[in-house]
Structure 1
């Protein structure tokens, strides 16, 4: 589960963000060569701001888990390789055996995503989710040290994954013929999630888009054929994306009107991606438009790189901060190549307090020339707040000039050498 502090508005009607949610039971498979359709990279009219990616049944053998502890798992590396050139940065990662949750955000949004917290709730063997765990999981999702600890008090919950709901009563032949003729409405009434929502008031608070795509389970691997094994499992919509908006307190007509809710969520698309065949499940994605009035209108830290950066000179970093910024002795400033994959992808860093210099009332930090990389390219600076557990300021990109030497040629003239 993720909780992200929203941001303070820059204008009365708020800011709109596009969020793309992915759920896929990958059945221990490695990433395919092309995930452009899954990530909507081939949709040039879609300008996404945040990716939330959940995978189930990742390879969780002992050797795989040991390898993933020392290195990035193949799926995380794949998503970072694809998304970092598009200015997306991995801001959160949670791995629980075969489950993986990844959150990516556009680099420009990093200073406004604060106090990231994670909490995992095991639910038995391999963490498989069942309906009887639903209320218990929500009860256990408490975030320590936050003003709103329980997840049910949060403004938005997105619940997605392989929920294992099946289609009741109908036989295999009827279900397959209904799917073949795209008569999905005949199956909706017998969908176990739809049935459960009629009985569980809390589950009923979660919304879902219409199931206008074929059931996403169970397929023969490397094909688009539903299960032809001896078990011949019925097709079912096991892979789902649900969301819940916090209910507004009820007030009578005589009471003062409450301020408008600070955000709204609308579903743009809810689809499956049938072209992927590496698993017995098809992935499902939901694309949302989130309009919100942020809690922070400008970055808490404004970073400026002073002068020309070279590979041989010590440099000064100047920054300004807002009056309410909660500074910490453990704050640091990182130097990154443009196209960073995640917050720990820095080339080098300095502790703010240890390297701070006071000069004419400015906040300045000393950056040793020995910490400046001997590689050319575009770089940027990020200020990381330990108190807020997030990046709170990003500089504009700048270039680091190569080291220049002076050499004398045989004619006695001095020539620069790079």
Structure 2
């Protein structure tokens, strides 16, 4: 017979998240018509919780820069056309390095484009080490990248195949004897002696080299340069290791966090670029270090199209609240944090507050009457991200009051 102590908080359950990583040097091309295969949306049940998409060589001409200032870039727009109906949201962060805090764990996501050409291998390795050692994040108590619990690093790393001639490499690829080429792959060689790179793992290269192809074909480079095929597009990961307990005990991954590779493949069907896209699908298993969200949001009572409405929210004791925090009202399926229907500053419109519960009001009288479902999102100015999302709810049309047979006034929806 099992007994439970009601005064002792329950242990947080282990979580399993599926992450799909995409890296693609798109060579300034526009998006193709269909990316379902790349995103695994052609599968009956892709069972994915997070997409991590990194592109290289997106068009950055003058017209592109002007359009990006006023509008979303075409690649981001295309991906969100596909993913936003499935409730995926593109966050407000940009650049090549993103830091996430996931159930209390620090996760660093790095998208890179390292120097090209066979002879520049030392320069590639210098860039690799420099990014890891020099990059820092703004914000309270965010550790250096090397102290993050998980690093996912991907991109056009531009590592090439040494020594072997063009004919040998092409014949090995044609006969799918990829193992003959692995020993001369510059990244594989560097992992043997570079102390930082050695800590990163990669899946087996069981797919053809992803560079360099003639555009709009599956033929390797037929130009005058006739570049050797190479696995330039890679996905790596690193789990933080426990410190040595003694001189004889090797460091091991923390027992409460593990990452397993489900698939690591290229996608030959896409021909718009001289690179083929590569995807890696991972299962991340972890024991949450925090079981309570920083912010809990809930609408108060029945929301109707009338005047100001109340929002209840609570936050954990260590949450760094700011007068510039705000709560946004969104339609389910929104694409970006700026797609709010309405918003309210948490301090300006505060109704009441105490240690456990806070109330603010939001005016939605200008919202058109629709059948859409809505969400509330709490944006933290200190953490530069959304830290709380409510469950979906509907905003009812305006209520009418009517007498019942007993003479009492009842609301009618």
TM-score with structure 1 setting the length:
0.83
Measure, in 2, the Cα distance between the counterparts of 1:36 and 1:349: 34
Which residue is equivalent to 2:196? 202
Give 1:313 deviation, angstroms: 2.8
Inter-CA distance 301–176: structure 2 relative to 1 (3 Å threshold): same
Alpha-carbon spacing, 1:288–1:92, altered in 2? closer, same or farther (3 Å): farther
Q: Does the Cα contact within 8 Å between 2:111 and 2:153 map onto a contact in 1?
A: no
2: distance between equivalents of 1:75 and 1:311?
37
> Is the contact between residue 112 and residue 392 of structure 1 (CA under 8 Å) also seen in structure 2?
no
1:242-265 C-alpha deviation (Å, 9 max, x unpaired) = 11122221113999x999543111
How far does residue 319 in structure 1 lie from its aligned partner after superposition? 2.4
CA RMSD of aligned residues (A): 3.4
Q: Go from structure 1 to structure 2 and tell me whether the alpha carbon gap of 1:316 and 1:10 turns closer, same or farther (over 3 Å shift).
A: same
Match in the other structure for 2:410: none
SS in 2 for 1:277: coil
Residues 58 and 262 (structure 1), Cα distance of their counterparts in 2 relative to 1, 3 Å cut: same
Distance 1:272 1:122 in 2: 18
- 2:3 maps to none
Give the C-alpha shift of residue 34 in structure 1. 0.8
| Structure 2 match to 1:61 | 61
1:287 matched to 2:281? The reply is: yes
Structure 2: how far apart are the matches of 1:268 and 1:115? 22
Give the number of equivalent residue pairs. 387
Query: What corresponds to 2:374 in structure 1?
Result: 379
Q: Is the 8 A contact 1:111 1:392 kept in 2?
A: no
5+ residue gaps, structure 1, are: 1-8, 407-417
Identify which range, 235-244 or 396-405, moves more after superposition: 396-405
Matching residue within 246, 252, 272 for 1:252: 246
Normalised to the residue count of structure 2, the TM-score between the two structures is 0.84
Cα pair 1:117 1:143 within 8 Å, conserved: no
Q: 4+ residue runs of structure 1 moved beyond 6 angstroms?
A: 100-103, 113-125
In the alignment, which residue of structure 2 is the partner of 1:412?
Answer: none
Shift of 1:199: 2.7
Shift of 1:390: 2.5
User: Counterparts of 1:187-198 in structure 2 under 5 Å?
Assistant: 187-198=181-192
For 1:215 and 1:124, the matched residues in 2 are separated by: 18
Label 1:245 to 1:132 Cα distance change in 2 as closer, same or farther (>3 A): same
Question: In the alignment, which of 325, 333, 336 is matched to residue 339 of structure 1?
Answer: 333
**Residue of 394, 397, 402 corresponding to 1:399:** 394
Q: 1:155 and 1:53 mapped to 2: Cα distance?
A: 20
